[in-house]
Amino acid sequence: MRVLGELPDTAAYDPEVFGSERLQAAIVLLAQGSVHRFRDAVRLARRDWRHLLVAAGPAHEDWPEELNVELGP
């Protein structure tokens, strides 16, 4: 949680993007419960947050519905 909370301050992109539920959920989805994969997802987000969204799934306009399916409403 701390890493996700600090991401807006440590990334080279718009802090609003990195504080968004969409991006944070993408990191959690990509991690699949693995601390190693979580760290990889955070590194990917810092390099290019759009690639993270594509890799994790919520890259399209229907991302709220995708997150509801994966994480629940």
Taking only Cα atoms into account, the Rg of the chain, rounded to an integer number of angstroms, comes to: 11
pLDDT at 11: 65
* Contact indicator for 69, 29 with CB cutoff of 8 Å: no
The tokens for 45 are 């987000």
The total number of structural domains in the chain stands at: 1
Interval 32-60 mean pLDDT: 88
Q: Structural domain of residue 48, as residue ranges?
A: 2-71
Interval 38-66 mean pLDDT: 84
Choose between 12 and 4: higher pLDDT: 4
Choose between 39 and 67: higher pLDDT: 39
Choose between 50 and 4: higher pLDDT: 50
Interval 10-14 mean pLDDT: 65
